[in-house]
Structure 1
Amino acid sequence: MAITSHGEFPSPFELPEPPGAEGWQRLYPYHLLFQPERREEDESAFWFCDSQHWPDVIKPFETIGVDFAVKCLGEYNTRYFLVPTSYGLERRIHHGYCYLSPVPVPADRVAERVPEFERRAGHYFGHWEHLLAHWKRKVLDTVRELEAVRFDPLPQTRSVEDIEAGAGPDASDALLTGYDRLIALCHRAWQHHFEFLNLGYAAYLDFFLACRRWFPDIPDLGVARVVQGVDMELFRPDEELKRLAKLALELGVESRLTPADPGVHTLEALAASGRPGRDWLDAWDAARDPWFNFTSGNGFYASDVYWRDDPSLPLGYIRDYVLRLLRGETIDRDLPGLVADRERITGEYRALLDPAERPAFDAKLRVARQAYPYVENHNFYIEHWTMGVFWRKARELSRLLRTAGFWPADGDMFHLTRDEVREALFDHVNAWASGGRPMGCDYWPPEVERRRRIMAALARRRPEPALGVPPPSITEPFTIMLWGIDEERIRSWLDGYSAHGALTGVPASPGTAEGPARVVHGAQDLSLVQEGEILVASVTAPSWAPVFGKVRAAVTDIGGVMSHAAIVCREYSLPAVTGTGGASTVIATGRRIRVDGTAGTVTVLD
Structure 2
Amino acid sequence: MDSPTKPAPTSFKAPGPGSWSIDGAHFPRPVSRFQAEIHPHGISEGFVEGARRYGLLIDTLEYRFVNGFAYSIVVPAPEEEIPARFQAAEEVFAKKIWREDLSRWDRETKPASIKTHQELLAINPDALSDEELMSYVDRCRENLRRMVRQHHSFNLAAILPVGDFMAHVGAWTNLPMGEFLALTRGNAPESAGTFPEMDRLAEEIRTNPAAREILESGDANADILDRLCSELGPLGEAAGAYLGVVGNRLLNTLDTGEPAAIEVPDVLVSRIRLAVDGEAHQDSGVTEDEVSRLRDRIPSEHRAQFDELLGEVRLMSRLRDERGFYSDVWAGGVMRRALLAAGKRLASEGRIDEKAHLIEADYEEIKALMTGTGGPSAAELAERAKYRKANRAEDAPAELGDPPSPPPPMDGLPPHVFRVMAAMGTAIQSLGAAPEADRDPAIVKGIGASRGIYSGTARVIGGTEDLSRLERGDVLVASATSDSFNIVLPLIGAIVTNAGGLLSHAAIVGREYGIPSVVGTRNATALIADGASVTVNGTTGEVWIDAQ
- The alignment's TM-score, normalised by the length of structure 1, stands at 0.74
Q: Which residue of 1 is the match for residue 417 of structure 2? A: none
Aligned counterpart in structure 2 of residue 466 of structure 1, from 398, 405, 429: 398
Aligned counterpart in structure 2 of residue 338 of structure 1, from 280, 286, 290: 286
Structure 1 gaps of 5+ residues are 1-17, 26-32, 156-170, 429-437
Q: CA deviation at 1:482?
A: 6.4
Write the mapping of 1:75-94 to structure 2, written as runs, cut at 5 A: 75-84=48-57, 86-94=58-66
Q: CA deviation at 1:528?
A: 2.4
Q: CA deviation at 1:105?
A: 5.9
Q: Which residue of 2 is the match for residue 162 of structure 1? A: none
Q: Secondary structure at the match of 1:567?
A: helix
Q: Distance in 2 between matches of 1:365 and 1:453?
A: 46
Q: Which residue of 2 is the match for residue 303 of structure 1? A: 258
CA-to-aligned-CA distance 1:500-527 (integer Å, 9 cap, x gap): 6333322210112233422122333233
Aligned counterpart in structure 2 of residue 211 of structure 1, from 169, 172, 186: 169
Aligned: 1:202 with 2:160: yes
Q: Which residue of 2 is the match for residue 58 of structure 1? A: 31
> Contact (CA 8 Å) 1:553, 1:595: kept in 2 or not?
yes
Q: CA deviation at 1:449?
A: 4.2
> Contact (CA 8 Å) 1:593, 1:602: kept in 2 or not?
yes
Q: Which residue of 2 is the match for residue 598 of structure 1? A: 539
Q: CA deviation at 1:605?
A: 3.7
Query: Given residue 529 of structure 1, which amino acid in structure 2 is its aligned partner?
Result: L
Write the mapping of 1:348-497 to structure 2, written as runs, cut at 5 A: 348-349=296-297, 352-354=299-301, 357-402=302-347, 406-425=351-370, 428=371, 438-440=372-374, 444-452=377-385, 454-455=387-388, 459=391, 462-464=394-396, 466-468=398-400, 469-473=403-407, 481=427, 484=430, 489=433, 492-493=435-436, 496-497=437-438
Q: Secondary structure at the match of 1:331?
A: coil
Pick closer, same or farther for the CA change 1:152–1:567 going to 2, 3 Å.
closer
Query: Given residue 381 of structure 2, which amino acid in structure 1 is its aligned partner?
Result: V
Structure 2 gaps of 5+ residues are 409-420
> Contact (CA 8 Å) 1:90, 1:103: kept in 2 or not?
yes
CA-to-aligned-CA distance 1:185-207 (integer Å, 9 cap, x gap): 22211222123222221111112
Q: Which residue of 2 is the match for residue 192 of structure 1? A: 150
Q: Secondary structure at the match of 1:333?
A: coil
Q: Which residue of 1 is the match for residue 178 of structure 2? A: 221
Q: Which residue of 2 is the match for residue 131 of structure 1? A: 104
Q: Distance in 2 between matches of 1:231 and 1:505?
A: 25
* Equivalent residue pairs, number: 526
Query: Given residue 373 of structure 1, which amino acid in structure 2 is its aligned partner?
Result: R
Q: Which residue of 2 is the match for residue 579 of structure 1? A: 520
> Contact (CA 8 Å) 1:267, 1:281: kept in 2 or not?
no
The structure having more radius of gyration, on CA atoms, is 1
Write the mapping of 1:138-157 to structure 2, written as runs, cut at 5 A: 138-143=112-117, 146-147=120-121
Q: Give the aligned CA root-mean-square deviation in angstroms.
A: 3.9
Pick closer, same or farther for the CA change 1:272–1:108 going to 2, 3 Å.
closer
Q: CA deviation at 1:564?
A: 1.7
> Contact (CA 8 Å) 2:55, 2:87: kept in 1 or not?
no
Query: Given residue 300 of structure 2, which amino acid in structure 1 is its aligned partner?
Result: L
Q: Distance in 2 between matches of 1:142 and 1:269?
A: 27
Write the mapping of 1:233-272 to structure 2, written as runs, cut at 5 A: 233-235=190-192, 240-241=197-198, 243-253=200-210, 254-266=212-224
CA-to-aligned-CA distance 1:232-285 (integer Å, 9 cap, x gap): 345465564455345433323424312444434335666899xxx865334323
Q: CA deviation at 1:543?
A: 5.5
Query: Given residue 242 of structure 2, which amino acid in structure 1 is its aligned partner?
Result: A
Task: Report sequence identity in percent.
Answer: 23
Q: CA deviation at 1:106?
A: 9.7
